Amino acid sequence: MMKRQILATLAVLAVLPVLLVSAPVSAQVPNPTVSGPIPNDAPPGDPSHAYTFFASELVDDFGYVEEEFFIEGTANVYDNPPLATGTVLSSDHPYKTRIVVRRPASPERFNGTVILEWQNVTAGYDIDASWVGGNADHLMRKGYVWVGVSAQRVGVHQPSTGLRDWSPTRYGSLDVTDGGSLLGDELSFDIFSQAGQAVMSPAGGHPLAGLRPERILASGASQSASYLTVYYNSIQPLANLFDGFMLLVGGSLVRTDLGVPVFKPQSETEAIFAALGFGVLQPDSDIHRTWQVAGTAHADRVFLDNVGALASRDSIPTTPPGLCDAPEGSQVRLDHVVSAAHDHLVRWVEDGTPPPTAPLIQTVGPFIARDALGLALGGIRIAGLEVPTALNTGANGGPSFCLLFGTHVPFDAATLQELYLNHGAYVSEVQAVAHDNLADGYITRRAAQDTIRGAAQSEIGQ
């Protein structure tokens, strides 16, 4: 049953274009036509939907600006041979889509790095996976520019939840299918390249309002990481646009001859899939890193809460909680590790300093090795797992996407009393682990401080 559920889920997460064959293409990425910023004629949540879909209401708190632009042009269709450079099958396919830009209002705060994210559409609509997954605060504090790209058919054309149906007045002119003649995301790779070109070398409209980026990182989570794996292997050698790739909770084998760094932060859920034979763990190298974080989930509590709030505000139906086999939503903070990974990837690109390596989650045959409390062994072990107050795992079962949500079951009072003599003992253990994680480079200083503060404010051991 578990294998059948995983197969069904992976079929949704990693649908990739059909592989075809033809002739080579030029490395030049054309500039799309940029229009905007598109005005917001209503506040987020207004029934008119005359505003940016899934608009972030955090930006004002951090001195950021969110703006939406339309980009349009013509795109190629490529073949995508495994671990090899692609070739062009056909050209001149018109498209029009959107990008969402979140940037510092003050140019002095820009750190020079643009993160171009391939929006995730597995749920049937665009999700800013890294942003809503808990990294928004870190990205804004550090001065990154984040740009989301609506590259796939589902995000634009899906009935009811796609952009065109969600707000026909605002988004009705968007089309990534060449008038319905291409329904397999064939244009997505060129769309993503041209979005990157529009922010790095603008011709005409300037989506970054004059900011001058020094580097651009491609980012995508889950299904989007699968598409970016194909992009890395087949399109990056042609476009030569991105300085580094962040493949979050997904991605597969990448070629080793391009010299462009690839970072794969993974949750325990991906380790479970790998142990069962779904996916391949690629060895670390000079241009490749995998981090696996014990106790975390592919879609954890932070992600589920943030997506749920935005979906409710924007009238998008979601699966109600409580349908999974176990209480869903691991509370071990994967985003604390992913935030550190972003900073490491920048240093890797800037001066060639690779991120630290990390132990993999331990397996016994097709299973994750677990301790007496049911917690995974091995991997990066942040305080939420290493100093536990609940059973947090990357495993679950049930309908819809339950396999991805992980589990969170608080320990009873007797277990907590056995683990921690008193509140001070608990806080001391959390402090020690957080400091070790920080020294190892697995979390940011801010994450360490927040972790320790949360422990001190808790009632554990009291």
pLDDT tens per residue, range 70-127? 999 999 999 999 899 999 999 999 999 999 999 999 999 999 999 999 999 999 999 9
Residue type, 180: G
Task: Supply the pTM of this predicted model.
Answer: 0.92
Mean pLDDT, residues 413-431: 96
* pLDDT (0 to 100) of residue 278: 87
Q: What is the dihedral of CA 65, 70, 75, 78, to 10 degrees?
A: 50
φ, ψ (nearest 5 deg) of residue 233: -70, -35
* pLDDT (0 to 100) of residue 163: 98
List residues bridging with 266 in a β-sheet.
292
* pLDDT (0 to 100) of residue 271: 96
Structure tokens at 390: 């609940």
* pLDDT (0 to 100) of residue 391: 98
For residue 262, name the pLDDT band (cuts at 50, 70, 90).
Answer: very high
* pLDDT (0 to 100) of residue 2: 46
Structure tokens at 410: 């608080």
Q: Which residue has the tokens 């995974």?
A: 376
* pLDDT (0 to 100) of residue 7: 42
Mean pLDDT, residues 181-202: 95
User: How many residues are recorded in the chain?
Assistant: 462
pLDDT at 445 > cutoff 60: yes
* pLDDT (0 to 100) of residue 16: 38
* pLDDT (0 to 100) of residue 4: 45
Q: Give the dihedral sign, CA 176/178/181/182.
A: negative
Answer yes or no: are the C-beta atoms of 63 and 109 closer than 8 Å.
yes
Q: What is the dihedral of CA 321, 322, 325, 331, to 10 degrees?
A: 60
* Distances from the Cα of 352 to the Cα of 89, 248, 261, 349, 443, angstroms: 36, 21, 9, 6, 20
pLDDT at 420 > cutoff 60: yes
CA–CA distance, 135 with 333 (Å, rounded to integer): 10
Give the strands of the sheet with 262-267, arranged side by side.
Answer: 33-35, 64-79, 87-104, 145-149, 113-118, 215-221, 244-248, 262-267, 288-293
* pLDDT (0 to 100) of residue 9: 46
